[in-house]
Structure 1
Amino acid sequence: MNVQNDGRPGHFVGDAGAGDSGVRAAEAALTTATALFLDVDGTLLDIAERPSAVSLPNLLLNVLQRVDRKLGGAVALVSGRPIDDLDRIFSPLRLRASGVHGAEIRLDPADEPHPSPSAQALPEALTDLLAESLRAFPGVLIEQKTYSLAVHYRATPQAGPQIRGILERLVAGEPESGIEIFDAHCAFELRTPAFDKGWAVATFLEHEPFSGRVPIFVGDDTTDEAGFAAVAAHGGRAYSVGRWRPGAQGVFADPTAVRAWLTAFANRRAD
């Protein structure tokens, strides 16, 4: 496992000259009294060229199932993907989940997702307007998620600044919509700021089996920082992935390190 020592920019534990205190702290933090919140792309799963191209590593479903069982169901996926998409990826496993950056939530695996009280569906015409505005950029993918639109430019990363400029002009032309632009990994997310992952975490923590537990949030992106703040407000800990982000107490090197951490907990004898 490769976890940064102290939550500040610097080397990762396991590199030359680094101790293993970060690894021990991360392992010790995850106990049967934890409420665990996990981002998906870039955290549990390696980022793919296109959202539809992600692959599920061998044994991850088994590990997640065992972790969920050890935590009494207090595990939730907190993702930018819609919950229906999460179910497709992790089938046949269904976990508690929040999708589209907090726009929808499922408090019980047997339930259907329902929207955040503040979630607003974006105008359908916006997708067509974006497609027309961005047709000069081959490889750009527009992902429609009802409450948000994601513009993926991983195929043409050098065009990121130009694409953002186009999006800024579009948003400025629709001030009454309340839409803002949020940065992600080679992507821009268009949505209102009325909901976020922090709302989702706080909502889970108001309900069983999460209430009364010490929360941990693991995420890799700017949009995860609201989740970091939410667990901090409840006396918990946050870990970022790949690089340090504000609010993180430690940093996993990559999704492989996150999966190793979860596997170690799943294999650990009773606390």
Structure 2
Amino acid sequence: MQAHDTIDFRKQALFLDFDGTLVDFADDPMAVAIRPATFASLRILQDRLDGALAIVSGRRIADLDHFLAPWTFSAAGVHGLELRQAPGSQVRRVARPEDLEPVRIALAAGVATEGRLRLEDKGTALVLHYRGAPELAGSASRLMEDAVAGLDGLKVMAGNNIVEVHPAGMDKGEALAALMASAPFAGRVPIYAGDDTTDEFAFRALARWNGIGIKVGEGQTAATRRLRDVAAVERWLNEEAARQA
């Protein structure tokens, strides 16, 4: 089934994951790049949707802005711990970096003994990366479990070659709900495309608005539609932009 079947962009809001959806993965997370044609399509769709297009990612909003410069979009960063309702508006943060300081210290010590693991500090979230060394998945999970042992109010999530921890109470489903609560998204039907296990929170939340979930890639999912890979997402967005132009 094609992702765009029966979708009316005049009445919907569009939510897009970043890594694995708009860009392919890279061993260096800062080495990814969005293709110019896809970027142009996003700008067209943002205009046609009256601004109701958001990027929903585990990355910080500052990083998303770097990759999408000079254009800005509504965004949920760090799985919703950072929220920007409209382009140019203030970024709201619902957690503090110091909340993770004990975990930060423990993970830094563990990474120092296993050089193939990399610790990414997002301030309000900490991520252990093992891309390029998939055999370290168990080690990364155990290191994270040990680091959060005895600490309350934290949520650990596994993703594509990562294990992440951040304060509990927020995920991509809650981020979607927060954005849908006010303009320019309120009153529209959400379309959400994502590839990762963390996007399943958003797919499950879509039922509140009779929304449409699009799973990118393989694997079990709560989404009702599917696109094969980033290239297929690009074709879909380019086709939709051509229709709206």
Q: Answer whether TM exceeds 0.5 for this pair.
A: yes
Find the residue that maps to 2:39 and give its secondary structure. helix
CA radius of gyration, larger in: 1
* Superposition pairs of residues 33-48 of structure 1, within 5 angstroms: 33-48=11-26
> Counterpart in 2 of 1:130?
107
* Superposition pairs of residues 80-99 of structure 1, within 5 angstroms: 80-99=58-77
> Relative to structure 2, which stretch is displaced further, 92-101 or 141-150?
141-150
1:152 to 91, 108, 129: 129
Q: Which amino acid is 1:79 matched to? A: S
Matched, 1:240 2:215: yes
Q: Distance in 1 between matches of 2:26 and 2:207?
A: 30
Find the residue that maps to 2:51 and give its secondary structure. coil
> Counterpart in 2 of 1:100?
78
> Counterpart in 1 of 2:225?
250
Which runs of 5 or more residues in structure 2 are unaligned? none
- Tell me if the contact between 2:45 and 2:244 (Cα under 8 Å) persists in the aligned partners: no
Find the residue that maps to 1:26 and give its secondary structure. coil
Q: Give the TM-score normalised by structure 2.
A: 0.93
> Relative to structure 2, which stretch is displaced further, 129-138 or 199-208?
129-138
Q: Structure 1 residue 235: deviation in Å?
A: 0.8
Deviation readout 1:163-203 (Å, 9 max, x if unpaired): 2112212211x323x22321000000111221111122112
> Relative to structure 2, which stretch is displaced further, 133-142 or 260-269?
133-142
Q: Structure 1 residue 125: deviation in Å?
A: 4.8
What is the RMSD computed on CA atoms of the aligned residues?
Answer: 1.6
Matched, 1:29 2:7: yes
Matched, 1:171 2:148: yes
> Counterpart in 2 of 1:78?
56
Deviation readout 1:106-165 (Å, 9 max, x if unpaired): 01111121123xx34333353332121122322321111111101100121111112211
> Counterpart in 2 of 1:268?
243
> Relative to structure 2, which stretch is displaced further, 54-63 or 254-263?
54-63
> Counterpart in 1 of 2:201?
226
- Tell me if the contact between 2:100 and 2:125 (Cα under 8 Å) persists in the aligned partners: no
Which runs of 5 or more residues in structure 1 are unaligned? 1-21
Q: Which amino acid is 2:151 matched to? A: P
> Counterpart in 1 of 2:138?
161
Find the residue that maps to 1:191 and give its secondary structure. strand
- Tell me if the contact between 2:111 and 2:119 (Cα under 8 Å) persists in the aligned partners: no
Q: Distance in 1 between matches of 2:190 and 2:56?
A: 13
Matched, 1:61 2:44: no
Q: Structure 1 residue 60: deviation in Å?
A: 1.9
- Tell me if the contact between 2:38 and 2:237 (Cα under 8 Å) persists in the aligned partners: no
Sequence identity, in percent? Answer: 36
Matched, 1:203 2:181: no
Q: Distance in 1 between matches of 2:162 and 2:29?
A: 11
Find the residue that maps to 1:175 and give its secondary structure. coil
Q: Distance in 2 between matches of 1:185 and 1:79?
A: 13
Q: Which amino acid is 2:65 matched to? A: D
> Counterpart in 2 of 1:192?
167
- Tell me if the contact between 1:179 and 1:192 (Cα under 8 Å) persists in the aligned partners: yes
State the aligned residue count: 244
Q: Distance in 1 between matches of 2:53 and 2:76?
A: 11
Q: Distance in 1 between matches of 2:16 and 2:229?
A: 14
Q: Distance in 1 between matches of 2:169 and 2:63?
A: 22
Q: Distance in 2 between matches of 1:31 and 1:56?
A: 22
Q: Distance in 2 between matches of 1:261 and 1:157?
A: 31
